[in-house]
Chain A
Amino acid sequence: MFRHPVTHSKERILYVKKLSTDIDSILEKYPGEPQYLISLLQDVQAQYSYISEENINFICDHVGVPVTKAWSVVTFYRSFSLNPRGEHQVRVCCGTACHLKGADRIAEDLERHLCVEREHTTKDMRFTLETINCPGACAVAPVVMVDDEYLGSTNQADVRQYLKKL
């Protein structure tokens, strides 16, 4: 599985969600056993939008797994992000039904429009562009999800317009 290299550029304005909750309250939810590694990483990512090196170390201490093992997990699974994510998640469905209706062209258009490759975040940390598989809304393919909002039967111009209004 292709993984993107870690880039920690200083100029990035860090957008960190709900930074105030500290990691302990997440750790407490699971017993300290290796099987909870993935669940913990997921919860940490849900809280902070990404997984920092520091937090990997905390999690490893808690579940009793060597740090190298945790890294092999973090880099294996596609949904883990080692970089902070943008303020808005733009997810283009590239499932089969959407593919047949031109989802790829929408994804390409967004890459050009936002000046960012898919699975990456814009420089100003406003948008993270991702592709996803079918969320079950094929009836209105092609589908783009912006945060929790579905844009159905959409096209390049409609998505751009929607992003502009955010």
Chain B
Amino acid sequence: MEKITNIEQLDLLKNSLRKARESGRQVVRVCLGPGCRAQGADKVAAAFRNAVRQQGLPVKVEPLIKETGCHGFCKEGPLVTLEPSGLFYSRVKPDDVEEIVEKTIKNNEVISRLLYSENGTVYKSAQEIPFYKMQKKIASRNVGDIDPLSIEDAIANGAYQAVAKAFASMTPEQVIKDVEVSGLRGRGGAGFPTGRKWRSAADAVKKHPGPVYVVCNGDEGDPGAFMDCVVMEGDPHSVIEGMIIAAYALGARQGFIYVREEYPFAIKNLTIAMEQARSAGLLGANIMGTGFEFDIRINRGAGAYVCGESTALFQSIEGKPGEPRAKYIRSVERGLWDRPTVLNNVETLANIPVIIENGGEWFSKIGPPNSTGTKAFSLVGKVKNVGLVEVPMGVPLSTIVEDIGGGIPGKKSFKAVQTGGPSGGCIPYKLKDVSVDFDSLTKIGSIMGSGGMIVMDDRDCVVDVARYFLRFLEEESCGKCLPCRLGLEAMLEFLDNFAQGKGSLEDIEELKSLAKAVQDGALCALGGSAPNPMLTTLEYFRDEYEAHIIEKRCPAGVCKDLITFHIDSEACTGCGLCASNCPQACITGEDKKPHEISQNACTRCGTCMDLCKFSAITVS
């Protein structure tokens, strides 16, 4: 691509790319997001390329095949959408491809078998599906639409227009002002106002002239979340553009993106996007011929959760062990190499271009006054429509879980939702109408967090979940300060005991006071927020804790030491699958006759339950 040497040129390029799009050429979008990839989408995409090549279609009919990021509706993957018909095909297998080319692409026929249907209604296009209807996409606006490896595609969708606007008509001060007006709060967890953060950093540079850095936090440490991954993979240019705007506002010349090493596709797509942006004159020296210089480097995380914390992340970029430092030194003033640094989350930065383009005023009108804009969530767990959703702030939680998420699968009932990952809390069913915004969630003891949303049904044990998060944090504690290093270990011991039916009611009180000590004494927010999942489950599900301790019973049937497995003789067909896989060889029975478990030898490993195809293993 030709290098862009002035601002008007970008506009011309965008318009000509748009024109080319309007040629009426068919487009096939194959979702290659992480969820669809796991369901074999790469094979579907390959099959499309093959089929199109083999058929030797005339140029006019030959569709453009785009491999895009996550379309959001991962549960129904692999997803394929077609243009201009707008058709939405779900659960597409490589074997379906030939038929799609033959019928839909060549002859405009709809293959009804591949359409998504719900409660008897068949949906032809994505916009009609309830899952998509209630969403509003800002941060993930281009994800699933563009080919992340093509900068032309991104530019045609409007990428880098906001940078052009800022360069052409705004001073750095005006950019900061606009972000302040937008009310945008950080999407990485703490919800700090982004405009205020930028302002403090800009002031700090004025006081101490010298280098200033812009850092993007793509560490996504929450073990059950993937929003940032999807944005980095599916629309890397939005993150790069957000960083350039931040750099312009602050006068930064160097930026860093800190990405989890476990996201190889995010690293790859970002790297390619940056290379393309450099050769298009949109990154590096003399951006768009304005003389402004800014470049970005990618740092890969090395598997430490604590490195998502700002000061630890800076240590890690400097090549050191990622240990946080005390908060009294503010990182906007003394961050990377002790210089003023702005650290923002991936989603925060992806919002920036839209804010600059449409104005802070516009953004501030979305959602409640104190939590403006939209938020992306990875909606997972015991919910029908597992996937990625982006909704305006302030929608009730039940809208996300029940209307968009489709509720709980099977005959089970909605028990709770965990938001904010290991630092967050558990919201019980009775509070399902809480407004999803920063302040309302904090008020009920949880947090917005970075966007993990885990739905639990009555077969999920809250003691087990609290223990899961605490164990995660105990392992990830950097060990620098004592309240966290020893406190979490001690708290975990209590929860381990409860899960085994040991302990007493006094232990609960002791656990609470220990939690208080950890909250007060921990150096960084890893330790400081670690008790949250335990405290909220204790507040809303105390009876379940008591059932473990007093009755030695796990009501959800999860805690291994408190349950026994039995075989339902009505349901058992005697297929023998469990017997041949039981590591203790403690399942016996004749062929085609109901089997039995010998309780003495059973270690409750759960293999039989996981393998049984007839749901014949019952837990009590």
Contacts from A to B (Cβ < 8 Å): 1-2, 34-39, 41-42, 63, 65, 69, 72-73, 76-80, 94-97, 99-100, 102, 105-106, 108-109, 112, 132-141, 143, 150, 152, 155-157
Contacting residues, chain B, for A42 (C-beta < 8 A)? 261, 300, 302
Inter-subunit contact A79/B302 (CB<8 Å) = yes
Q: Smallest Cβ distance from B465 to chain A, in angstroms?
A: 8
B35 and A38 form a contact (CB under 8 A): no
What is the chain B residue whose CB lies nearest that of A70?
Answer: B319
Counting chain B CB atoms within 10 Å of each CB, the highest count among A2, A72, A80, A96 belongs to A96
Closest to B385 in A: A139
As a 0/1 sequence over residues 454 to 490 of chain B, the CB contacts with chain A under 8 angstroms (1 = contact) are 1010001000010010000001111100000000000
Which of A37, A63, A69, A136 touches B230 (beta carbons < 8 Å)?
A: A136
Instruction: Indicate whether B8 reaches chain A with its CB closer than 8 angstroms.
Output: no
B610 engages A152 (CB within 8 Å): no
Residues of chain A within 8 A (CB-CB) of B322 are 76-77
On chain B, the residues within 8 Å of A94 by CB distance are: 223
Chain A, Cβ-Cβ closest to B320: A73
Report the minimum CB–CB distance from B50 to chain A (whole Å): 20
Interface residue B84 (Cβ < 8 Å from any Cβ of A)? no
Q: List residues of chain A with CB within 8 A of the CB of B583.
A: 109, 112
Q: Which residues of A contact B38 (CB under 8 A)?
A: 135, 137, 139-140, 143, 150, 152
Say yes or no: B319 contacts A138, CB within 8 Å. Answer: no
> Is B262 in contact with chain A by the CB < 8 A criterion?
yes
- Asked whether B319 lies within 8 Å of A105 as measured between CB atoms, the reply is no
B356 within 8 A of A: no
CB of B447 closer than 8 Å to a CB of A: no
- Decide if A137 touches B34 in the complex (CB within 8 Å): yes
CB–CB A138/B475 < 8 A: no
CA distance A76 to B477 in the complex (A): 11
Which A residues touch B230, using CB under 8 A? Answer: 136
Task: For the complex, give the distance between the alpha carbons of A99 and B470 in Å.
Answer: 13
Q: Given that A36-B319, A100-B381 are contacting pairs, would A136 and B34 also be in contact in the complex, using a CB cutoff of 8 Å?
A: yes
Interface residues on B, range: 35 or more
**Known pairs A109-B605, A157-B577. 5 more at Cβ < 8 A?**
A100-B381, A132-B262, A141-B380, A150-B37, A157-B611
Residue contacts A-B, CB under 8 angstroms, 14 given: A1-B304, A42-B300, A63-B319, A76-B304, A77-B302, A77-B322, A96-B223, A97-B224, A99-B468, A100-B382, A105-B610, A109-B607, A150-B38, A157-B577
Task: Say yes or no: B468 contacts A138, CB within 8 Å.
Answer: no
Give chain A residues whose Cβ lies under 8 Å from the Cβ of B310.
none
Q: Is there contact, CB below 8 Å, between B610 and A136?
A: no
| B387 & A139 in contact (Cβ 8 Å cutoff) | yes
Q: A36-B319, A97-B454 are in contact. Are A102 and B479 (CB under 8 A)?
A: no
In the complex, what's the smallest C-beta–C-beta distance from A50 to chain B, in angstroms?
14
**With A138-B378, A152-B39 as contacts: A72 and B75 at CB distance below 8 Å:** no
- Residues of chain A contacted by B318 (CB below 8 angstroms): 34-35
Given contacts A137-B34, A157-B577, contact A73 B319 (CB under 8 A): yes
Cβ-defined partner of B34 (8 Å) among A35, A102, A106, A135: A135
B229 in the interface (beta carbon within 8 A): yes
Chain A CB within 8 A of B407 CB:
no
B33, CB-defined interface residue at 8 Å: yes
**Smallest Cβ-Cβ distance to B230: which chain A residue:** A136
Q: Which of A35, A100, A134, A135 has the most CB of B within 10 A?
A: A100
- Find residues 23-65 in chain B having any chain A CB closer than 8 Å to their own CB: 33-35, 37-39
Contact of A34 among B35, B225, B302, B319 (CB under 8 A): B319
* A158 → B minimal CB distance (Å): 9
Asked if A135 contacts B262 (CB within 8 A), the reply is yes
- Residue of A2, A39, A136 near B475 (CB, 8 A) is A2
CB B138 to nearest CB in A, in angstroms, measures 20
Give the contacting residue for A139; candidates B320, B386, B421, B607; CB below 8 A. B386
Sorted from nearest, which 6 A-B pairs have the closest CB atoms?
A96-B224, A136-B34, A79-B303, A136-B226, A77-B302, A137-B38
Q: Is B299 an interface residue (CB 8 A)?
A: yes
CB pair B224 A78 closer than 8 Å: no
Nearest A residue to B304 by beta-carbon distance? A77
A144 to B320 Cα, complex, angstroms? 31
A interface majority secondary structure: helix
B226 touches A105 (CB 8 A): no
Bound-state CA distance A38–B479 (Å) is: 20
What A residues does B456 contact at CB under 8 A? Answer: 100
- Interface status of B317 (Cβ within 8 A of chain A): yes
Contact at B224–A35, with CB atoms within 8 Å?
no
CB pair A96–B77 under 8 Å, yes or no, is no
Contact call A96/B452, Cβ cutoff below 8 A: yes
B598 contacts which chain A residues (CB < 8 A)? none
Q: With an 8 A cutoff between CB atoms, is B606 at the interface? A: yes
Whole-angstrom CA separation of A78 from B479 in the bound complex: 14
Residues of B within 8 A of A100 (CB): 381-382, 454, 456, 460, 465
B225:A134 contact, CB within 8 angstroms? yes
Find out whether the CB atom of B606 lies under 8 angstroms from the CB atom of A139: no
Interface residue? B127 (CB, 8 A):
no
- Please state if B35 and A140 are interface contacts (CB–CB under 8 Å): yes
Shortest distance between the CB of B456 and any CB in chain A (Å): 7
Q: Specify which chain A residues have a CB less than 8 angstroms from the CB of B320 in the assembled complex.
A: 69, 73
Chain A residues with CB under 8 Å of B599's CB are none
Minimum distance in angstroms from A43 CB to a CB of chain B = 10
* Whole-angstrom CA separation of A17 from B38 in the bound complex: 26
Q: How far is the CB of B253 from chain A (nearest CB, A)?
A: 16
Known: A96-B224, A135-B34. A38 touches B316 (CB 8 A): yes
Partner of A155, one of B382, B460, B605, B611: B611
Q: Does B210 interact with chain A (Cβ within 8 Å)?
A: no
Give bound CA distance, A31 to B437, whole Å.
Answer: 45
0/1 string, B364-380, CB within 8 A of A gives 1: 00000000000000101
Which residue of B35, B223, B302, B304 contacts A95 across the interface (Cβ within 8 Å)? B223
On chain A, the residues within 8 Å of B581 by CB distance are 156-157
Tell me whether B74 is interfacial, beta carbon within 8 Å.
Answer: yes
Task: Report if B321 contacts A (CB, 8 A).
Answer: yes
Q: Which of B34, B380, B386, B607 contacts A156 (CB 8 A)?
A: B607
Question: Are B606 and A105 in touch, CB under 8 angstroms?
Answer: yes
Most buried by A among B230, B321, B479: B321
State how many angstroms separate the Cβ of B78 from the closest Cβ of chain A: 11
**Chain B: which residue is nearest A35 at the CB level?**
B319
Q: Does residue B418 face the partner (Cβ distance < 8 Å to A)?
A: yes
